[in-house]
Amino acid sequence: AEKHLFHLRKHAEMKTEQCVMDNMEKYLSEYRNWSVWRTILIGQVCSVLLSVLAFLSHHFTVNLHLAIPTGQNYLHYILLCAVFTTWLACRRGDKGLISVAKARGYRYILLGFIDVQANTLLATSYQFTTLVSIQLLDCVAIPIALALSCLTLGVRFRFVHIVGVSVCLMGVGCLVWAGVGATKASGDGQQSQLVGDMLCLGGAVLFAVVVVLQELVVKTLDCVEYLGMLGLSGSIICGVQMYLLERNALVDVNWEDKTIVIYLALYGVVQFIFYALIPYVLRYSGATAVQLYLLTSDFFSLVIGMVLYKFRFHGLYFLNYLLAMSGIYIFTIKKTPIAAQQRASSENPPQQLMADEVHPTIQAPRDYVSPFETEHFEMTSSIPVTYTVSSDSLINSHSATTGFSSFYHK
């Protein structure tokens, strides 16, 4: 009996070890997919662009003495409108500008309003607080994105995702420990910095809300519709707000100074590229992953600060970057489980699932962008088309529509 029990225990241990090895091989196989690395690479490009935007906003306040937080964000909405709204207007049928505006126009107006306020709050915060404080306070968007993804998109995070987020936040802790650029103020200085910190926190929360809603749009509809409607609604809202709040400040700006014009134009172009790339990253990752990708912008911003503003060098800069990238790699090991996806899989009979594995098909118009890439998940959207997608096409973390998706449908 003891010998039999010994063999049973040994067999159980070997089975456990084999299961662990199989899981590790399955997780690490994600890194063989070029799409994963492409998404991470584009995410880092967005991070560099965000650090450039942070530097330019700091430069507007410190060197150019510009106080037009709404006005400096106006150009990129105009560019989005000129490119993507025009693209949307050239479409026909239900995907055209008129049809989309009738079906979901007021929802995009609300989304555009939130986006404009997020940009305005973040730009205003540079007038009151330091660049390093803003970079650190922006991290509040991560838990907000986590919570909203769970509540609104039905995303279910596993332990490995929490580990990835924790490692990234350890990198943020390195910046706090380094205390780069920290200065002790008193009196009015403390009050002004507190105002700037509160503005930054408000902007970070709104930015997290926008990113989660943007993920919902690009995965249930398409990127062109989102960017086109955001450009249209954002340019109108930003223009009206700029006229009401900043018309006197705009008149006082010396527009004959080519330096001001060049920097504002550069800011608008960089922000336009950033907005054009983010939907792609969202479509193949998720709102939380985007927030993690953008954490490395802290490192790039501090490098720019060392070069241009003589920030004191600290070895924790590199540790911050290594931890942030390590957290990103850990987060992408495991696809994000989705409640709606699991429900759909349980509703499909095994025979149908086996048929889907052998004959995966996608029936859709040639110009239609597949809104979901889910594991054996059949669905019918507002367009009378049925999709059946193999699990091989699933990349990184994905979010499916829940009841909240009615926000973007008739």
By residue range, what is the domain housing residue 221? 27-331
Residues 257 and 346 in one domain: no
Question: Does a structural domain hold residue 237?
Answer: yes
pLDDT value at 366 more than 50: no
Q: Which residues contact 117 (CB under 8 A, 6 or more apart)?
A: 203, 206
pLDDT mean over 367-376: 37
Question: Does a structural domain hold residue 152?
Answer: yes
Alpha-carbon distances, residue 173 vs 132, 186, 323 (angstroms): 12, 25, 10
Pick the residue with more confidence: 297 or 363?
297
Residues 32 and 171 in one domain: yes
Question: Does a structural domain hold residue 17?
Answer: no
Residue with tokens 């490192």: 299
Question: Does a structural domain hold residue 371?
Answer: yes
Helix (H, G, I), strand (E, B) or coil at 157: coil
- Would you state the pLDDT for residue 400? 37
Number of domains in the chain: 2
Residues 275 and 358 in one domain: no
Tell which of 331, 356, 379 closes a domain. 331
List % helix, strand, coil for the chain (3-state, nearest 5).
75, 0, 25
How many angstroms from the chain centroid is the CA of residue 270?
16
- Would you state the pLDDT for residue 383? 40
- Structure token digits, residue 300: 């790039």
CA separation for the pair 194, 207 (Å, rounded) = 20
pLDDT mean over 331-343: 56
Spatial strand order in the sheet of 361-362: 361-362, 386-388, 379-380
Residues 312 and 361 in one domain: no
Residues 347 and 312 in one domain: no
Alpha-carbon distances, residue 398 vs 150, 219, 296, 330 (angstroms): 12, 8, 22, 16
Residues 237 and 147 in one domain: yes
Helix (H, G, I), strand (E, B) or coil at 398: coil
Question: Does a structural domain hold residue 11?
Answer: no
CA separation for the pair 304, 314 (Å, rounded) = 14
Tell which of 311, 331, 351 closes a domain. 331
Residues 347 and 215 in one domain: no
First to last CA, the chain: 68
Question: Does a structural domain hold residue 115?
Answer: yes
Pick the residue with more confidence: 271 or 9?
271
H helices within 63-187, ranges in order? 74-80, 86-89, 97-125, 131-137, 141-152, 159-178
CA torsion angle 54 143 343 389 (round to 10): 20
Residues 183 and 149 in one domain: yes
- Structure token digits, residue 92: 């026909």
Question: Does a structural domain hold residue 316?
Answer: yes
pLDDT value at 357 more than 80: no
- Would you state the pLDDT for residue 13? 66
Residues 370 and 227 in one domain: no
Residues 317 and 345 in one domain: no
CA-closest candidate to residue 390, choices 371, 377, 399, 401: 377
pLDDT value at 72 more than 60: yes
Residues 240 and 383 in one domain: no
pLDDT value at 373 more than 80: no
- Would you state the pLDDT for residue 123? 92
- Would you state the pLDDT for residue 19? 60
pLDDT mean over 235-259: 93
Residue with tokens 């960089």: 270
Residues 145 and 219 in one domain: yes
CA separation for the pair 207, 199 (Å, rounded) = 12
Question: Does a structural domain hold residue 14?
Answer: no
Q: What is the DSSP letter of 337?
A: P
pLDDT value at 374 more than 60: no
